Amino acid sequence: MGTYSIEVRDLVKFHGSTRALDHCSFSVKHGEFFSLVGPSGSGKTSTLRLLAGFEYPDHGEILIEGRSMNRTPPHHRPVNLVFQNYALFPHLTVFKNVSFGLEMRHVAPGEITSRVAAALAMVRLQGKETRVPSQLSGGEQQRVALARALVNRPAVVLLDEPLGALDQQLRQEMQVELKTIQEQAGLTFMCVTHHQEEALTMSDRLAVMNRGRILQIGSPREIYESPISTFVATFIGQSNQMAGRVEAVSAATCRIQVSGLPSILARSTGALTIGDSVTLIVRPERIELSRESLHAGYDNAIPARIEKVIYNGSENQYWFRLTDHIVWKAHELNARPDRKGFVPGESILVRWHAVDGIVLTE
């Protein structure tokens, strides 16, 4: 047994004539919480179905626990899937739903009872054994679906949009709980989601997918702080963008020229040469708005005018105009409610550090 629960090499899958998966490769380590995140049609669900065994790849290889699974049907794979709409058996009780996999593998009845009890305890559903799914709330059904997979102690628990059907409040609670359960159970989780915040919150590592390709794999911090493409930068988190040209490059920073603005200092990625067309990305929460007219230690300070203000409780969100063509936004934590906020039409100074300016060449 190697260090990987899942190894996917050069996977290709066609749906009709469209290429659902285009030479995808990634590995998931033991005990890792790994997420595939991307918009609908990005190929993440196809990948999950190939791992579960409902479909077979057209090219490439799937290894689970080091064993090739390319043509292994689902019931012979050491993985269990938590379905998007849970797919609980409506005619069976909670207990029978959870014990289904163990019964199919002819586990001794005494062991079934204790393992089901342990799994239900883990998802905090004790006392609901004799209910049927229609008597449970959405959140409870979600837990049963999870317990039904956990109880088998599979090599990998696959989760398809696990929190997609829950309301916002419950969703955020469950993100933390899912991660806790995964750590307690010590199992490998692979989750598919279109919800970028969910992927960042729960995952040890994530892969960002679009149009059948994996664009970037890394920890949440790596993906958020150092996206390698504008797609990743805009899909994961919010971002401001502007197009420019490289004016000067040094080891740590580079200087970007943007028409209508003073030169902008940004983080250098190393592969830049003078004259390159680039996209500059700055996260809204890294931008500071000020009524002062000083640099005050910031590398960039540009005058702007407030266009629009949104107050959402935890944050003040400001849209401001830098040039005729560029409107950016800044998120300011609402930590000092007594402070007077900016108002539309107000002239301000927009400031940020060079390290917060991400430069992308694509």
- Interacting residues with another protein (CB under 8 A): 52-54, 73-76, 79-81, 83-85, 87-91, 100-101, 104-105, 132-134, 148, 152
Within 10 A of 100 (CB to CB), how many other CB atoms are there? 17
Q: Return the closest-CA partner of residue 141 out of 90, 177, 197.
A: 90
Within 10 A of 184 (CB to CB), how many other CB atoms are there? 10
Closest to another protein by CB, 54 or 311: 54
Given a contact cutoff of 8 angstroms between Cβ atoms, the answer to whether 174 and 182 are in contact is: no
DSSP 17-54: TEEEEEEEEEEEETT-EEEEE--TTSSHHHHHHHHHTS
Nearest-angstrom CA–CA distance, 219 and 209: 15
Given a contact cutoff of 8 angstroms between Cβ atoms, the answer to whether 207 and 43 are in contact is: no
Token reading at 224 = 């958020």
* Overall size of the chain counted in residues: 362
Closest to another protein by CB, 85 or 263: 85
Closest to another protein by CB, 133 or 162: 133
In whole angstroms, the minimum distance from the beta carbon of 129 to another protein comes to 18
Closest to another protein by CB, 53 or 220: 53
Closest to another protein by CB, 103 or 173: 103
**Residue 244 vs residues 132, 254, 304: alpha-carbon distances, Å:** 60, 12, 18
Closest to another protein by CB, 160 or 177: 160
Token reading at 124 = 């905090």
Q: 14: helix, coil or strand? A: strand
In whole angstroms, the minimum distance from the beta carbon of 187 to another protein comes to 15
In whole angstroms, the minimum distance from the beta carbon of 276 to another protein comes to 48
Nearest-angstrom CA–CA distance, 118 and 122: 6
In whole angstroms, the minimum distance from the beta carbon of 302 to another protein comes to 51
Closest to another protein by CB, 90 or 109: 90
In whole angstroms, the minimum distance from the beta carbon of 52 to another protein comes to 6
Token reading at 123 = 């998802």
Nearest-angstrom CA–CA distance, 13 and 56: 8
Closest to another protein by CB, 87 or 327: 87
In whole angstroms, the minimum distance from the beta carbon of 186 to another protein comes to 21
In whole angstroms, the minimum distance from the beta carbon of 170 to another protein comes to 19
In whole angstroms, the minimum distance from the beta carbon of 86 to another protein comes to 9
Token reading at 252 = 């740590």
Q: Return the closest-CA partner of residue 259 out of 277, 271, 273.
A: 277
